[in-house]
Amino acid sequence: MKQVRPLTITGGKIVAPHGIVDGAVRCVDGLIAAVGGDVNASEGDQVISAKGKLIAPGIVDFGVFAIDKPAFHFGGITRAALMPDQSPPLDYPSRVNYIAKSGKPDLWVHPLAAATRGLEGSELAEIALMRDAGARGVATGRNWIGDSGVMLRLLQYAAMLDLVVVTHAEDAGLTGEAAATAGEFATRLGLPSAPAEAETLALVRDIALAELSGARVHFRQVTTAAGLDLVRAAKAQGIQVTCGITPAHFMLSDLATADFRRFTRLSPSLRSEADRQAALVAIGDGTVDVISSGHDPRGPEDKRLPFADAEPGMAGAETLLAMVMGLVRDEVIDMPRAFELLAAKPAELLGIPTGTLKVGHEADIAVVDPEAPWVVDRRKMAATADNTPFDMHGVQGRVRALVKGGVAVTS
């Protein structure tokens, strides 16, 4: 899908890094050609009227486990970084190359290469060849690499290749088969649990190895107050670490598991209310770099089981934008910061020229009505599975038009 006709989005409020400005965006040959208040459509342009709504960068969803194109389009996602936990894993160049081409032209998928063969945590995979095949980063998958020697070699190799390493921050020796975070609710419900310190132990080691190796390390999810403090301190020391979080972990606490709702069976497990409040502070003060959907749809065969036996994961692509708009309404962050978390920083980590509305960047754009009310209804979701913990939750924020590479996907 190549843009053959210039497109101009007019009459909107442009979400720029420095603030919100009235104006238009013109796209030519798949790139942003002009942005600002003095931009007008030329004769022959295709025109989309934003009608006073936001003109924002398309979302770059960092670290999804499945590609659900209709769900992504609904949520304003134009690019997704796919985790290597596929069947088979993304541990060979041919598999990475196939995935890198799979979503085009209306959705670009950026594969994250498996750090180790079979994601088994022991032998490094062919990372350089997978980079050449299209990998934009390397990831440990759903699990933590327990062998510190393997992890150090991985980080040294990735630093040499200038690839970000995406890691799961939980010590597997402590988490085991846990289905909940140790505490009052896990005890009351009789659920197998693991201490929240499983996260902090993993972070301490990997931050130390990041400093030793000089590698760029991204912790896909940091969900505890102690863990966020560690990341905050590491950044202050100049260590190249970043972290992300999903809406479930700043919207919900372990209280949501009280009725054994299997859609709240997540990885990491939901944390305490104090941890949830700490996550909101960390989003507001810049400690958190990325908010992603963690999109991991699970069908009935995985979820209609006793809570402890159900597979962790949630369908998050369709609700991601609305949940972040809630942070703006609650004045946790402002609108430019929202799209820094959703688009600019993920694009920077992946090394791709998108994520901000800047001349020369790729024309991935969403027209967003931040006030549009709707109710999350799992029965109407476009995802391949309906396992959302936000079922029947009232939200605001809808995508009204989506442009990928200068071509309207929805309008």
What secondary structure, in 3-state letters, does the chain show? CCCCCCEEEEEEEEEECCEEEEEEEEEECCEEEEEECCCCCCCCCEEEECCCCEEEECEEEEEECCCCHHHHHHCCEEEEEECCCCCCCCCCHHHHHHHHHHCCCCCEEEEEEECEHHHCCCCECCHHHHHHCCCCEEECCCCCCCCHHHHHHHHHHHHHHCCCEEECCCCHHHHCCCCEECCHHHHHHCCCEECCHHHHHHHHHHHHHHHHHCCCEEECCCCCHHHHHHHHHHHHCCCCEEEEECHHHHHCCHHHHCCCCHHHCCCCCCCCHHHHHHHHHHHHHCCCCEECCCECCCCHHHHCCCHHHCCCCECCCCCHHHHHHHHHHCCCCCHHHHHHHHHHHHHHHHCCCCCCCCCCCECCEEEEEEEEEEECCHHHCCCCCCCCCCCCCEEEEEEEEEEECCEEEEC
Residue 292 counted as domain residue: yes
Q: For position 1, what pLDDT does the model report?
A: 64
- CATH at residue 283: 3.20.20.140
* pTM listed for this prediction: 0.96
- In the numeric block, the tokens 């894993």 are attached to 89
Residue 49 counted as domain residue: no
Tokens of 114: 């498996």
Can you give the pLDDT of all 411 residues of the chain as single tens digits?
688 899 999 999 999 999 999 999 999 999 999 999 899 999 999 999 999 999 999 999 999 999 999 999 999 999 999 999 999 999 999 999 999 998 889 999 999 999 999 999 999 999 999 999 999 999 999 999 999 999 999 999 999 999 999 999 999 999 998 999 999 888 988 999 999 999 999 999 999 999 999 999 999 999 999 999 999 999 999 999 999 999 999 999 999 988 888 889 999 999 999 999 999 999 999 999 999 999 999 888 888 888 888 899 999 999 999 999 999 999 999 999 999 999 999 999 999 999 999 999 999 999 999 999 999 999 999 888 888 999 999 999 999 999 999 999 987
Residue 261 counted as domain residue: yes
Residue 48 counted as domain residue: no
Is the peptide bond between 88 and the residue preceding it cis, with omega within 30 degrees of 0?
A: yes
Angle at which helix 197-213 crosses helix 148-161, to 10 degrees, equals 50
> How many domains are there within the chain?
1
C-alpha 201/C-alpha 208 separation (Å) is 11
Residue 20 counted as domain residue: no
Tokens of 275: 């941890």
CA dihedral 133, 109, 127, 142 (to 10 degrees): -160
Residue 32 counted as domain residue: no
Q: Which burial class, exposed, middle or buried, applies to 21 when counting CB atoms under 10 A from its CB (0-12, 13-18, 19+)? A: middle
Residue 215 counted as domain residue: yes
Amino acid identity, position 342: L
Full residue range of the structural domain in which residue 66 is found? 58-355+369-397
CA atoms lying within 13 Å on the CB side of residue 90: 34
Amino acid identity, position 386: D
Beta partners for residue 54, in sequence order: 13, 368
